Amino acid sequence: MSTTKQHAGIGHILCPTDLSSRSQKALSYAMQIATDLGAMLTAFHSAKNTWPYHADGSATHSIDEIKTEIRNGLVRDPSNESVSIDLNVIVEESTDPAAAIPRLAHELKTDLIVMKARPGVLSALHFGSIVERVVSSVTCPVLLIPSRFLSDHNPAHDPLTFRQVLFDYDFSQATDELFHLANALARDFAAELHVLSVLEPPASQVEPASFKSSQMLLESAVQKRLGTALLSEGRSPIDVPTTIEWGRHSDRVLKYAAMHDIDLICTALPPPDFYFEKFYRTYLGRLLSWTDCPILVKQCI
C-alpha cells in the first residue's frame, strides 16, 4: 500500500472495467488517484457482459484468466512503478452490471467510483445506461472520465493533473456534500478552486425594472451563501474565484470551463423535481458530449 496519507476521506475506490482499452485506461487512472490519496483500489468486471475473447483471439474462460488480463492491462506512470498499492480484483458472473456495481459499492463501503463514460445514443446519454443507472443509484461520488479524454491521453506519460477545479454550486443537499470533497481534492492536488453558481432567468415575462431589482437581490444573497460555504471549508472568499451567471446551466458551465482551462468539473445532480434542468440527460449528458475533462458527480439520493 502506498505510504501516502489518506486525503479527502477517500479510503476505497471502485473502478469497473469491461476489458476494453479505454476502460483499462480508466482503471489505470483510478490506480494513480488511489496512489496519490493512499486509498485501496478495487477493480470489478462483470464476466457475462463483455466480449469473451482476448485481443489475440484466444478465448477467455476462467475468472483467474480475466483477473490476470485486468492486472496485465494496467498502464503505470514509470515514475510511480516502484510504488505499491492495495489492488483487489473482483470478477462476477453478473447479468446486470448496472445493478452489481452499486451493490458492490455498498458492500465495500466505497468512497469513490471511477468509470469511463461514452457520450452517444447508446451510452451515457440514453436513459437506463450503465453510467446513468450507477450515478443515480449510489450514495458516493462518481468520477466520470470521458472516452474522448481516454482516447487522447495515456496514463504512462499523461498522468491526471488537476490544476483548475470548477465547482458548480446549486445549493442542493448533494452540492453541500460534494463541496467538501471537491475542496479537499483541490487542496490535495494543489489546484485552484473556482466556484460557479448558475441562475436560470424567469420563464415568464416580467417587468424589466422588477426583474433587475430582483436579480440584484438574488445575486447578493447567492454571493453571501457562497462566501459562507467557502468559510466553512477553511477557504477565504477573497482567494477563491466565485462567479454568478444567468442562463442555461450546461451552457454556462461549459463556457466557463473552456475559458479557464478547467481540468475537473464537480457537479451535483439533485432530483428532477428540485432542479429539472440538471436532470441527467439534459445536463450531465450535455457536459459529457462537449467537454474533454473528467467530471466528478454526485446524485442526491
- Which whole number is the average pLDDT over 181-188? 89
> Do residues 143 and 171 share a domain?
no
Chain segment 2-55, per-residue pLDDT in tens: 344 445 678 999 999 988 899 999 999 999 999 888 899 999 998 764 455 555
Residue 93's pLDDT band (boundaries 50, 70, 90)? confident
Instruction: Give which of 7, 20, 209, 263 is closest to 123, Cα–Cα.
Output: 20
Q: Give the global pTM.
A: 0.85
Average pLDDT, the chain: 82
Sign of CA dihedral 128, 301, 165, 21: negative
Single residue among 109, 132, 152 that ends a domain in this structure: 152
| Cα-based distances in Å from 115 to 1, 186, 286 | 22, 20, 17
In this structure, of 74-78, 172-176, 209-213, the range with the lowest mean pLDDT score is 209-213
Enumerate residues 6+ apart whose C-beta is below 8 A from 138: 101, 102, 105, 106, 110, 113, 299, 301
State whether the Cα torsion 268-269-274-275 is positive or negative. Answer: positive
Residue 294's pLDDT band (cuts 50, 70, 90):
very high
Same domain for 197 and 131: no
Asked whether residue 217 is assigned to any structural domain, the reply reads yes
Residue 1 lies in a domain: no
pLDDT digits (tens, 9 = 90+) for 119-153: 654 444 444 578 888 988 899 999 999 988 999 99
Domain stop point among 125, 152, 179: 152
Same domain, 169 and 292: yes
The average pLDDT across 174-196 equals 89
Q: Are residues 172 and 145 in the same domain?
A: no
Please tell me whether residues 51 and 135 are part of one structural domain: yes
CA distance 193 to 242: 9
- What nine digits make up the cell of 289? 458530449
Q: Are residues 92 and 221 in the same domain?
A: no
Instruction: Kindly report the CATH number assigned to the domain that includes residue 191.
Output: 3.40.50.620
Q: Which set of grid coordinates corresponds to residue 299?
A: 446524485
Counted domains in the chain: 2
- Closest C-alpha among 239, 140, 123, 223 to residue 181: 140
Please report whether residue 227 resides in a domain. Answer: yes
> Within this chain, do residues 140 and 175 fall inside the same structural domain, yes or no?
no
**Residues 287/267, Cβ–Cβ less than 8 Å:** yes
Q: Is residue 158 part of a domain?
A: no
Higher pLDDT, 1 or 160: 160
135 with 263, same domain: the answer is: no
Position 87 confidence tier, pLDDT thresholds 50, 70, 90: confident
> DSSP labels for 136-169?
TT-SS-EEEEEHHHHHH--TTT------EEEEE-
Domain residue limits at 262: 164-299
Domain boundary among 103, 130, 152: 152
Asked if the structure places residue 6 within a domain, the reply is no
Q: How far apart are CA 195 and CA 168, in angstroms?
A: 6
The answer as to whether 219 is a domain residue is yes
CB 249 within 8 A of CB 283: yes
pLDDT value of position 113: 97
The separation between CA 50 and the C-alpha centre of its own chain, rounded to angstroms, equals 23
The answer on 130 and 169 residing in a single domain is: no
